[in-house]
Amino acid sequence: MRKLVLKISVSVDGFVGTDSGSVDWIFASLTDDATAWLAQTLREAGTHIMGRTAYLGMAAHWPTSTEVFAAPMNNIPKVVFSRTLKDADWAGSRIADGDLATEIARLKQQPGKDILAHGGAGFARSLSRLRLVDEYRLLVHPVVLGSGLPMFADPMDLRLINTTAFSGGAIAHVYRPA
């Protein structure tokens, strides 16, 4: 059975975006070694999943991008979870508008590489609240936002699997639910 991996950038104080949803703060510490780690995480995925907000931002960017992340973002199938989005025209995308837990269970039963969840913040919290995430890959950036969109809304015990420090001060923590 495939596992669901949630990959997300987070501030030291646990926010995944500013109050307005901006994530511009992640780029200051996104050095070559951190980028390589993220690219490897993307290449390990067999399916990308995301919420509507993340999809709209990514679909506007990745199809014409020449960045290192472009190939895995464009070539790996994508499932967009939304009850309001009617069309997903980014190549390899489809909309899932049913029950989140049911659809994730179906995806996990399919053969192939792991399922990689991207966010946004609300989608990530929904996955966590429903205990659907098998592994968290949190890229913690050396910035304190003070307020914003929180990563977690509910208490949860996690077990640390791995930690990698990068030259720009970001640290990747890999956790699994305890």
Mean pLDDT score, 138-157: 95
pLDDT the model gives residue 164: 98
pLDDT of residue 119: 75
**With pLDDT > 90 as the criterion, what percentage of the chain qualifies?**
89
d(CA 15, CA 141): 10
Q: Determine the pLDDT at residue 153.
A: 87
Mean pLDDT of 51-68: 92
DSSP-assigned beta bridge partners for residue 149: 17
Domain positions in the chain: 1-14+48-111
Which tens digits make up the pLDDT trace of 111-146? Answer: 999 999 997 889 999 999 999 999 999 999 999 999
Residue 93 clears pLDDT 90, i.e. is over it = yes
Q: What is the pTM of this model?
A: 0.94
> Residue 109 has what pLDDT?
97
Work out the average pLDDT over 6-15. Answer: 96
* pLDDT of the residue at 35: 94
pLDDT value at residue 120: 80
- Asked if 117 and 125 count as a contact pair (C-beta separation under 8 A), the reply is no
Residue 147 reports pLDDT greater than 80:
yes
Q: In sequence order, which residues have a C-beta less than 8 Å from that of residue 155 and are 6 or more positions away?
A: none
Average pLDDT over all residues of the chain: 95
How many other CB atoms are found less than 10 A from the CB of residue 83? 9
Percent of the chain topping pLDDT 70: 100
Distances in whole angstroms, Cα of residue 35 to Cα of each of 13, 63, 126: 22, 19, 27
